[in-house]
């Protein structure tokens, strides 16, 4: 099975950005963790963009069986990303490093959660690993 991991705006800054919230790990390290977790049993592809339209385009063209999506701040604003997910109707797991529900109120609203298979929020890099575990379990 093929899983696409999409990271949205500012997630390329992990390791430098607000370390007390997002930790010290870089996105590259998180991606390496996922490749290890996949252990050749799943094919994991990665895409990061700071641009909403690029994320929409990637959702349209991917041939992955499932999507792990950390849309960053677009989670809370983007009807375009929501509509793209609805257009392709692939299973999506919404992930966040931080627990968005323990943060500012504007982060409590998500345009993705209600159309996602599930939401994993607050476990740092492990949020992505848990999501990948789910997809691999479905495939076994």
Enclosing H/E stretch for 38: helix 27-38
| Rounded Cα distance, 64 and 3, in Å | 5
Q: Which of 60, 76, 96, 134 is catalytic?
A: 96
Contact stretch for ligand DQA (CB under 6 A) within 25-33, 36-44, 69-77, 112-120: 69-77
Interaction of residue 73 with ligand DQA, rule CB under 6 A: yes
The answer to whether the CB of 58 falls within 8 A of the CB of 81 is no
Q: Which is nearer to ligand DQA, 2 or 107 (CB)?
A: 107
Residue 66 interacting with ligand DQA (CB under 6 A): no
**One of 96, 119, 134, 136 touching ligand DQA (CB under 6 A):** 96
> Which residues lie across from 2 on neighbouring strands?
43
């Amino acid at each position: 099975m093929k899983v696409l991991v999409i990271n949205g705006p500012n997630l390329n800054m992990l390791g430098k950005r607000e370390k007390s919230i997002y930790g010290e790990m870089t996105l590259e390290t998180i991606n390496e963790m996922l490749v290890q977790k996949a252990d050749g049993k799943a094919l994991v592809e990665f895409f990061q963009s700071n641009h909403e339209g690029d994320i929409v385009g990637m959702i349209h063209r991917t041939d992955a069986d499932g999507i792990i999506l950390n849309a960053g701040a677009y989670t809370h604003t983007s009807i375009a990303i929501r509509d793209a997910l609805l257009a392709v109707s692939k299973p999506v797991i919404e992930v966040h490093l931080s627990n968005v529900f323990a943060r500012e109120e504007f982060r409590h609203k998500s345009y993705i959660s209600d159309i996602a298979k599930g939401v994993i929020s607050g476990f740092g890099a492990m949020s992505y690993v848990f999501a990948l575990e789910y997809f691999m379990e479905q495939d076994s």
